[in-house]
Amino acid sequence: MFLLVDCNNFFVSCERAFQPQLEGRPVVVLSNNDGCVVARSNESKAMGIKMGTPFFKVRALVDSGALEVRSSNYTLYGDLSSRVMSILRDFAPKLEVYSIDEAFLVMDGIPLERLKAIAGEIIRRVRRWVGIPVSVGIAPTRTLAKVANHFAKRYSGYRGVCVIDTDEKREKALALTPIDDVWGIGWRNAPKLERVGVHTAADFTARPQEWVRTLMGVIGVRTWMELRGTPVIGEEERERRQTICTSRSFADMITEPEELSLRVSDFAAICARKLRDEGSVAGTIGVFLMSNRFRDDLEQYFPQDLEHFDIPTSNTPEIVAASLKIMKRIYREGIRYKKAGVIVMDIQDARFVQPDLFDAKKEERLRNDRISRIMDQVNVTGRQYLRLAVQRPGHYADGIRMEHRSGRFSTDWSELMEIH
């Protein structure tokens, strides 16, 4: 059986953990740049505020005092997430951390009554030790555990725990689950299914497997099997990420190549740092630029390009240089850019890099590796005290809107003291 533990309204709950005055109030947390709503409390959901709503559409509610708003603080959420996960680890022979706010506990061979007791204990302990409310779904497949979790969240009668352990319960739950609520059925396929009369998860599992394969391919079949009670989605045992991407929208649109270079080199430097933190190197780097897709009065342009490294690398000077080379290649004058990003790919273990016998740049590379190591030793807190001259001066958050940030409760002692 699988236990899916999912934090309720996670970002909002993180804010509430340190600001109890937000308890019971309608609250939303905004994306980077204060762009749109990415988390809602139950109260703000009940007001009809949708996920992804641009902030300017609900600003009036905030101004009138009907809605509380916070800019997102990913450092804080990451910290609280690790605390939650470390509690879960005590309960599970095997823990699969699926995202910042949810994890599967693989609980083979444990009697159902015991599982229910564990679920209850998890809810109590996470609430008391971290201050975050969680819900638990229990079922024989990951997809069904997701379904069960929805019920646990939606209906207070479950007291946070919902179990799907018999065919009868499974069929009942599927009949009550709209097809677009199913894990693995997205916004493209849901309308397709609706059009041919599949409205609920039960409608979906009633169709023949071949029908599903024709319409949705092997992914659809996997979801179909899981909903019918056969586990086929395995956890991906991966040591390292396959790609790392650093991208941001700008508070204002940028046209000047000099200004854009500062941002792109910053993103590249962050990618390089993330690589080194994981003991990885990348064989390929990509850069993309984006004009403002919401301004149909302006010319649109979404270029991207790649560059391969002769030897996979993680050093900042080399990665930044490559990013700027690509940027200059794809940059076009007259475009007003709203967003840019750097992606590093073909990621491998830094310990097993294949050197090149005829590598002419070996000395330079080693020197740049040493420079990067020193940067890491100085920039321990994540701030870029030491950076390349082509990078942007100041804090990386400059030029990113963040007008509603609450305290740095988990990283700044004085701000924590303030609330006490």
Partner DNA sequence: TCTGGGGTCCTAGGACCC
Contacts with DNA by CB under 7 A lie at 31-33, 35-36, 38, 52, 54-56, 59, 98-102, 146, 182-190, 217-219, 236, 238, 241-249, 274, 292, 294-295, 306, 338-339, 341, 400
Strand-pairing partners, residue 340, are 248, 289
Beta carbons of 320 and 265 less than 8 angstroms apart: yes
Distance of alpha carbon 112 from alpha carbon 389, whole angstroms:
60
Comparison of 59 and 328: residue with beta carbon closer to DNA: 59
CB 189 to DNA: min, Å: 3
The string over 251-283, giving b where at least 16 C-beta atoms fall within 10 Å of a residue's C-beta and e elsewhere, is eeebeebeebbbbbbbbbbbbbbbbbebebbbb
CB 117 to DNA: min, Å: 26
Nearest-10 Cα torsion for 236, 239, 243, 249? 90
Please, where are the H alpha helices in 90-140? 112-129
CB 265 to DNA: min, Å: 15
Comparison of 62 and 321: residue with beta carbon closer to DNA: 62
Q: DSSP for 363-380?
A: HHHHHHHHHHHHHHHH-T
Comparison of 20 and 186: residue with beta carbon closer to DNA: 186
Q: What angle, rounded to 10 degrees, do the helices at 257-277 and 362-378 form?
A: 80
Q: Which of 397, 215, 68, 72 is nearest to 224 (CA)?
A: 215
Contacts of 115 (CB under 8 A, 6+ apart): 1, 3, 107, 138, 163
What tokens were used for 154? 């939606």
Task: Compute the C-alpha angle 188/185/215, nearest 5°.
Answer: 65
CB 420 to DNA: min, Å: 30
Comparison of 150 and 387: residue with beta carbon closer to DNA: 150
Beta carbons of 150 and 111 less than 8 angstroms apart: no
CB 101 to DNA: min, Å: 5
Comparison of 292 and 323: residue with beta carbon closer to DNA: 292
Comparison of 141 and 363: residue with beta carbon closer to DNA: 141
CB 62 to DNA: min, Å: 12
Task: Compute the C-alpha angle 346/326/259, nearest 5°.
Answer: 125
Distance of alpha carbon 228 from alpha carbon 304, whole angstroms:
42
Comparison of 66 and 112: residue with beta carbon closer to DNA: 66
Comparison of 46 and 306: residue with beta carbon closer to DNA: 306
CB 385 to DNA: min, Å: 20
CB 52 to DNA: min, Å: 6
